[in-house]
Structure 1
């Protein structure tokens, strides 16, 4: 098979791969800038991680509970965005798969809460919402 035939078949087409990937991922800043109510943001981490800090307005639904609780807590037509800790954790990938298997439109927030925090975005704990200090090496969007 020639390289042109491989590219046309899609099986070895880098552009098709990256185009597809962008359909299922969303950047931290795109989530932060999304119109209110346009996304259902789901924190898929365990309870202790949620208690340590989470994105304000996120719904806590650990990955293992998605199959039994998602349909009770999230409308079927919602655009779901899942997150876990960060790039070193694939928990949100497992969560995205669980939502996809239930028929939800789902995206994975790349960078997770780690990059949310590193971009200087708010984090909520039992004591309230606090702003993180932006890491200048990560973001040019926030001071």
Structure 2
């Protein structure tokens, strides 16, 4: 027995439910990149870092809405039912988690882009500045 097999794998039905649930909450940089190349990606991409970090480099097409500023007032420009995808600096940062929790608390649909800006750059995708 080894650390991988010491705990039996989940039943396939449970595995499908678990991983499908994860996909309801998360997406990755490659899928966001592909969607952003279309005329209508079907979501609003939010960079939830501070304005200085956003200006230094962000995902093209992302809007800056720092997680600490999410409120009914800052969200009113988007219609009900809007899907948001959020990202922050990367795996070492929980700003996207904070933003996703706040968006959910405001009744918004949300997914987190795994890897954040670090993952985006690791994939070799370009950044926009300004």
Larger CA deviation: 48-57 vs 71-80: 71-80
Tell me how far 1:100 sits from its aligned partner: 0.8
**Cα separation, 2, equivalents of 1:22 and 1:60:** 24
Please point out which of 19, 36, 39 is paired with 1:36.
39
Structure 2: tracts of 5 or more residues without a match: 1-10
Aligned structure 1 segments of 4 or more residues deviating by more than 6 angstroms: none
Residues 64 and 89 of structure 1: CA distance in aligned 2, closer, same or farther (over 3 Å): same
Residues 73 and 104 of structure 1: CA distance in aligned 2, closer, same or farther (over 3 Å): same
User: What is the alpha-carbon root mean square deviation over aligned residues?
Assistant: 1.9
1:88 aligns with 2:92: yes
Hey, what does 2:71 align to over in structure 1? 67
Structure with greater strand percent:
1
- Which of structures 1 and 2 has the larger relative contact order (alpha carbons within 8 angstroms, sep 6+)? 2
Tell me how far 1:119 sits from its aligned partner: 1.0
1:46 aligns with 2:50: yes
Structure 1: tracts of 5 or more residues without a match: 1-6, 8-12, 127-143
Tell me the TM-score normalised to structure 1 length. Answer: 0.73
Which digits, 9 at most, give the CA deviation of each residue in 1:16-58, with x for residues without a partner?
A: 4333222100011000111333110000001111111111111
1:26 aligns with 2:34: no
